Amino acid sequence: MTINRGTLFQLFKYIVYAFLAMNVYWFFAEEFLANNLLYPDGVGFRDLIGAYPATIDTAAWVVLLLVFELETYVLDDQQFTKTVTWSMHGLRALCYGYIITAFFGYIGNLASVQAVSPLLGISDLCSLINDQWSYSYDIEEYTEITAANCHSFSSADSFLRFHDARAVVDAAGLAAIIGLAWIDVINAAVWLLVVLVLEIDVRLQEHNRYEGWAYRISGILKVILYATLLYAAIYWGIKGDFVDFWDAFLWLVAFVFIELNVFEWRQEAHEELASAAET
């Protein structure tokens, strides 16, 4: 039995999509552990967006990605009935609502990590071991300070405490955490711009108007936007953790597939128009 290159390409594409779906769980696991400290009384319904921004954001993006896949590759033109079209528009609107809400969640996280004050009278983390303090070694990642680990976190002699959590950090650690929080905000904003451009591309292609200046301007904007996203992925790879880097990398790959779908759709439209002109 032989498998052609097209089948292998589609298999690889859907494996990437599956990995992205798995990332919803990994982000939930990370945020669940952090919320044990941030929300000691439990996460209420009103706190869900602030408590699980990455989980909600990633889940909504996975659904939105599948909608784009259906629209640009899986479904043929004759399958776009009114029911299918409006269903997809409704699902897309729901996803955008969650994505925009999660974006504001990232802004809230940025404000939260910037809300600190000096921890007065403390020059050694080991003096905190009996008071249930934690050390923040990454954004929304904490480890309880114990006698076994209190010497391993920092050699600084002054510390800062977060207003929203019983956690401390040194100045260098805080600067790194704020940098990662800014990358979260920038990354989320740029992705919103990417899908805005892609939505315009798809609507123009539906009416065979994805040509000329529209096509060129879209290409220029995407180069800038995807370059920014690549920078964010590299930043996470250097300053953050593997989950953030892996997620950012997979999303770039996934949307390359969507861009290829749109490109093939455009080529097919050109071939159909050329064929119609000949006949």
Domain ranges within the chain, ordered by starting residue: 5-115+174-278, 117-173
* pLDDT at residue 1, rounded to an integer: 47
60 has pLDDT over 80: yes
- State the pTM of this model: 0.81
Average pLDDT value for residue range 134-140: 86
Question: Which pLDDT belongs to residue 7?
Answer: 80
Mean pLDDT is lowest, of 25-29, 56-60, 250-254, 260-264, for: 260-264
Q: pLDDT band at residue 114, thresholds of 50, 70 and 90?
A: very high
Mean pLDDT value across residues 150-156: 90
Nearest Cα neighbor of 60 from 234, 186, 192, 184 is 192
Which pair of tokens denotes residue 179?
A: 């940098």
Give the helix/strand (H/E) hosting 26: helix 5-38
Three-state DSSP class for residue 263: helix
φ/ψ of residue 120, rounded to 5: -70, 140
What local confidence, expressed as pLDDT, does residue 117 receive?
95
Instruction: Grade residue 43 by pLDDT with cuts at 50, 70 and 90.
Output: confident
Q: What's the mean per-residue pLDDT of the chain?
A: 86
